[in-house]
Structure 1
């Protein structure tokens, strides 16, 4: 992808390392200087030395505050008085609303009509005026640009703006200050603002730092742009924060010039990464924020032996969704299971099965008896039993014991 020769003056990139250092000075006193910490357990698990940057500890739980604040601080007094506008249903909306309110700048956020209520409420709670318009981000974006023209607002783009990119790049400045040994950045890509800023910092270093982007396999928009492929961009991804169908023009140019490669990660890896970060680091990270770790899990041979910096770029995940991710992870690890057992419809049949669970010390959580909705003969029935084991080996001992007792058992598998 990138040749990494310094761009000639005639094709100099729109954001320089000087821009990023200036942004850092500008915003430093109003953002959280989040820690960059080594994860010994994740390092052992992946074979890399893993440093995590906890941007989920920002006040609005995402790195997006950096670019939003850097942009706001560079507006003229007239522009500040007129106010700013953005189209976003996510972290950009909250970061812009929070800092605009803090600075006394009126902010209007246009969101799609299907935006979850919790996100609307959170953004409004930061003092912004919320307008719900259209069923898609594109429709909300178009409406925001109309209002910009009609009312004299300044539009603040979520990623395709040099001021946004420079602010995002301050993340990498702090990471290298705290962990100078980092030789590889593994960074989520949505529109490309964060990786553009981080790659600018990496290329300005006095040594080689590899920059690898990560996209959800369902939304490989920058991957397509860089490789000339036409993979579909659609689906219900856990990483909705990086589910972007069209990357930015400025960011695409910077990624082409500065980024070494882009890898794609599956939904299963994203779920695993979210669960591991909660279990191991005791930190809540949204799907997009966990994409960097998902790449380490998906491609361990690629990163083995490297000192990797991963940005946990956001922590705004719906609590019910998080609960589902954690339960699915328990199921995949064998600690939670649903077993489908064929029984004879005779007195004591369920009791005999329960005795085997007791003997194997496996906890029964729920029992579902199926007499009617089954393809078995009228005298047969199916019982689904949800249960909790210590680990997969423990579960397998239970299944073996049920089989030895003459029962037909089938685990109900997750997708």
Structure 2
């Protein structure tokens, strides 16, 4: 198995990733939203070609592979959004990709990943099977490179390119850079990348209720994992068992605290994003907005809110809109 080289993600790496992303994709919109008389700026990453920000990390990571690594292929681990980001990049670069995904992943994410040409290797998340162990085994069998969803320096840098865009977009409007970024958080790849790309902004990660291991880790000063009896959550994209040192080293320096949101708060945010911004958000993609709307964040003059994904099936979204979820 070929593993990523031991290196730390950097601001310079984020800048490189941003230039690479700008060569192939237009910036996603930064939309204004009035919240209790104050404007917040919503970064619509749900409008990416794969419906989520994960395309950024996937592209930066795979374009950094050597020719030999490209020939051996890659293995990703994901509930669906990272899967599609890696699959999209792999197809464009002519690289074989296998994605380890939970057997309870949303059907739309499984279908989209396969449609992009990637092989899907299922594991039993409800049964307690360890996804990283499954991925390590697949990598060892194939000699492939592991493209971790969040604990990879290139993936972290790629996700941080969203922060570069936010700063550029705000600057173009004469606002100056963001002083606060509120973001959904699973394993901490995006949160760490934003911290590197926007060093002058406070970064606040938001997790689902019961899956707020990073919030607890920040409070305790050391990595905590999700409890074995964690409750069910609609935020499948944020169901990570625990962050990794490569992420936490950045988070504990840059994130003053973390927050959690309830399913009801998440669904309220999905409805508001549809009504006010005309956007379809999956539950995990709406977590940061949920915290803002619930009054859990002290807003600053230049607050940015990450809307990270929109991969939800029509039936599930209809239930949210009608309040029958």
- Common fold, TM-score beyond 0.5? yes
Name the structure 2 match of 1:271. Answer: 267
Shift of 1:235: 1.6
Q: Does 1:216 align with 2:211?
A: no
Give the match's secondary structure for 1:85. strand
Name the structure 1 match of 2:17. Answer: 23
Distance (Å, rounded) in 2 between the aligned partners of 1:248 and 1:317: 27
Name the structure 2 match of 1:327. Answer: 322
Structure 1 or 2, whichever has the larger Rg, is: 1
Which has the bigger relative contact order, CA under 8 A and spacing at least 6? 2
Match of 1:280 among 276, 279, 283: 276
Give the match's secondary structure for 2:136. helix
Distance (Å, rounded) in 2 between the aligned partners of 1:230 and 1:315: 26
User: What TM-score do you get using the length of structure 2 for normalisation?
Assistant: 0.89
Distance (Å, rounded) in 1 between the aligned partners of 2:234 and 2:274: 15
Equivalent pair of 1:188/1:292 in contact (CA under 8 Å): yes
Shift of 1:33: 1.6
Match of 1:167 among 141, 150, 158: 158
Name the structure 2 match of 1:33. Answer: 27
Aligned pairs for 1:11-410 within 5 A: 14-39=8-33, 43=34, 45-136=35-126, 138-180=129-171, 181=175, 182-203=178-199, 208-228=200-220, 232=227, 234-299=230-295, 302-303=298-299, 306-328=301-323
Shift of 1:231: 7.8
Deviations 1:301-345 (A, max 9, x none): 722x5321011110001221111111118xxxxxxxxxxxxxxxx
Shift of 1:234: 1.4
Give the match's secondary structure for 2:198. helix
Question: For the structure 1 residues 114 and 291, does the alpha-carbon distance in structure 2 shift closer, same or farther, using more than 3 Å as the test?
Answer: closer
Shift of 1:98: 1.1
Structure 1: 5+ residue stretches without partners: 1-12, 330-413
Give the match's secondary structure for 2:91. helix
Equivalent pair of 2:202/2:254 in contact (CA under 8 Å): no
Which runs of structure 1 show a deviation greater than 4 angstroms over 4 or more consecutive aligned residues?
229-233
Distance (Å, rounded) in 2 between the aligned partners of 1:255 and 1:138: 27
Is the deviation greater in 191-200 or in 14-23?
14-23
Give the match's secondary structure for 1:179. helix
User: What TM-score do you get using the length of structure 1 for normalisation?
Assistant: 0.70
Deviations 1:120-154 (A, max 9, x none): 22111001112223345853431221121121100
Equivalent pair of 2:291/2:297 in contact (CA under 8 Å): no
Equivalent pair of 1:111/1:131 in contact (CA under 8 Å): yes
| Alignment root-mean-square deviation, CA | 2.0
Distance (Å, rounded) in 2 between the aligned partners of 1:83 and 1:231: 31
Equivalent pair of 2:106/2:312 in contact (CA under 8 Å): no
Equivalent pair of 1:32/1:57 in contact (CA under 8 Å): no
Deviations 1:63-100 (A, max 9, x none): 00100110000000000011001122210001101110
Is the deviation greater in 252-261 or in 166-175?
252-261
Equivalent pair of 1:88/1:109 in contact (CA under 8 Å): yes
Structure 2: 5+ residue stretches without partners: 1-6
Give the match's secondary structure for 1:109. strand
Shift of 1:239: 1.6
Give the match's secondary structure for 2:321. helix
